[in-house]
Amino acid sequence: MDIIGIMDTNKEKIRRFTSGKFSFNDYLSVSSYFRNEENNEVLKQSMESEWNETDNTNNNQERLSQILDNLHSQINMISSQKANVFQIFYQAFSKVAVVLIIPALITIAVLSYLAIHSPERAESWAEIHSPVGSRTKFQLPDGTQGWLNGGSSIKYPINFIKHRNVEISGEAWFDVVHLKSEEFWVITPYFDVKVLGTQFNVIAYNDETTAEIILERGKVVVFGKDQELKEELTPDQQLIYNKSTKKIIKTSIDSKDYSSWKDGLLIFKNVPMSELARRLERRYNTEIILHGDSLKSSIFRATFQDENLDEICKMLSTVAPIKYKIQKRIKQPDNTFAKGKVEMWLKSDINLK
What pTM did the predictor assign? 0.60
| Residue 132: band (very low, low, confident or very high) from pLDDT cuts 50, 70, 90 | confident
Angle between helices 105-115 and 59-94 (to 10 degrees): 150
Query: Domain check: are 269 and 133 in the same one?
Result: no
Most confident of 144-153, 220-229, 323-332: 144-153
**Amino acid identity of 20?**
G
| Whether residue 268 sits in one domain with residue 257 | no
Domain assignment of residue 79, yes or no: no
Sequence-distant (≥ 6) Cβ neighbours of residue 241 within 8 angstroms: 190, 191, 210, 211, 212, 224, 229, 247, 248
Summarize pLDDT for 173-187 with one digit per residue, the tens.
Answer: 999 998 887 889 999
Q: Provide the mean pLDDT of the chain.
A: 76
Which of 15-29, 53-67, 99-113, 177-191 shows the lowest mean pLDDT across its residues? 99-113
Distance, in Å, from the CA atom of 119 to the CA atom of 23, rounded to the nearest integer, reads: 22
Q: Is residue 35 part of a domain?
A: yes
326 lies in some domain: yes
CB 341 within 8 A of CB 327: yes
Calculate mean pLDDT across residues 119-143: 81
- 287 lies in a domain? yes
Average pLDDT of the residues in 228-243 = 91
Confirm whether 253 is domain-assigned: yes
Q: Are residues 250 and 278 in the same domain?
A: no
Q: Residue 327: give its domain's CATH number.
A: 3.55.50.30
pLDDT band at 83 (very low <50, low <70, confident <90, very high): very low
Looking at the fold, whether 124 and 57 belong to one and the same domain comes out as: no
In a domain, 81, yes or no: no
The residue among 348 and 43 whose pLDDT is bigger is 348
**Contact criterion met (CB below 8 Å) for 189 and 204:** yes
Of 241, 262, 283, the residue that ends a domain is 262
Q: How many domains does the chain have?
A: 3
Mean pLDDT of 140-164: 90
Query: Which pLDDT does position 169 carry in this prediction?
Result: 94
pLDDT in tens, 257-270: 889 898 888 888 88
**pLDDT range class, residue 84, cuts 50, 70, 90:** very low
User: Residue 159 maps to which CATH number?
Assistant: 2.60.120.1440
Verify that 176 and 283 share a domain, yes or no.
no
| CB neighbour class for 211 (10 Å; exposed up to 12, middle 13-18, buried from 19) | buried
Task: Give a yes or no: residue 86 inside a domain.
Answer: no
**Is the same domain home to 133 and 35?**
no
**Residues 267, 302: Cα–Cα separation, whole Å:** 6
- 228 lies in a domain? yes
Kindly tell me if the per-residue pLDDT of 311 is higher than 70.
yes
Domain shared by 286 and 176, yes or no: no
Query: Do 65 and 110 have their domain in common?
Result: no
Domain assignment of residue 66, given as a range: 3-73
Confidence of residue 306 (pLDDT cuts 50, 70, 90): confident
pLDDT of 156 reads: 93
Domain termination residue (choose one: 229, 244, 262): 262
Averaged pLDDT for residues 90-107: 43
> Model confidence over 270-303: pLDDT tens digits?
889 998 998 888 888 889 999 999 999 999 988 8
- Same domain as 235, residue 117: yes
Asked if the model's pLDDT at residue 338 lies above 80, the reply is: no
